[in-house]
Structure 1
């Protein structure tokens, strides 16, 4: 459950895996693209307007929904449904830095005047969605849930193709071996120091 760059990277990758999945016909993809256009782009589930939930219900099955929310903030029905969840976990040090930039770049969130002010809030869980550490503890309760897959950003970055293969298997995407290097190249990024 990483913020900003990691979440966006994983979102792009999962969408590429899904669109490449052999289960979709060209006609089915056109229908899905049109439905997604009707949904309207929203950055994350937690930033959507109240009507977003009704519009999401109208999307064809296999909706990909992005969120940073903890399990207790999600509708309980998600855990009782057939929904599959991919949770991206980062090293807390990396998370704190990335979340600092995410927080200060989101116009709907208050920004911090200094790193020290932000870091105190981060360590004490005084950010918009609470403590990252509490969130990790909460997701850890689902480690053995059959429809929830946890993935480490650092491990995934180290071997992106293996990570994609694990994601494809968990989500039931049927891809030929040759697609994974192409998707890895399409979804790679260069980190700034």
Structure 2
């Protein structure tokens, strides 16, 4: 079995769809918070596309709704999100330093 490059969540689902419909869709770079510059590039693709994003549906461009795009919304277990986010913060030098799990968990539970 092929190992997927993403462990879970949005990217994981995009990879599953690519395996199910390999010749019908293209996976695009993710569209994330504050970076909608890739949307113009997407208009030039000739096939259907999967656009992974962590954006809330209210943050998507109006054309998304006008063109009646399909969306798959993923909800993850909050415990899984906390663990994933903890490791993401520890590995990313551009984010605040997190010294230990209890400290991070307390911040996570407060919404910080």
- After TM superposition, the score normalised by the length of structure 2 is 0.70
Give the corresponding residue for 1:6: 8
**Which residue of 49, 62, 73 corresponds with 1:76?**
62
1:18 corresponds, among 11, 18, 21, to 21
Write out per-residue CA displacement over residues 107-148 of structure 1, whole angstroms, 9 at most, x where no aligned residue: 54334222223223322322xxxxxxxxxxxxxxxxxxxxxx
Query: Greater RCO between the two (CA within 8 Å, min separation 6)?
Result: 1
**Partner of 2:74: helix, strand, or coil?**
strand
How far the C-alpha of 1:19 sits from its partner, in A, is 0.9
Query: Where does structure 2 lack aligned partners over 5 or more consecutive residues?
Result: 1-5
Query: 3-state SS of the aligned residue for 1:63?
Result: strand
RMSD: 2.9
Q: Unmatched 5+ residue regions in structure 1?
A: 127-193
Contact 1:5-1:98 within 8 A present in 2 as well: no
Higher-Rg member (1/2) = 1
- Bigger fraction of residues in helix: 1
1:41-60, aligned counterparts within 5 Å? 42=29, 44-46=30-32, 51-60=37-46
Alpha-carbon deviation of 1:90? 1.4
Residue 72 of structure 2: aligned partner: 86
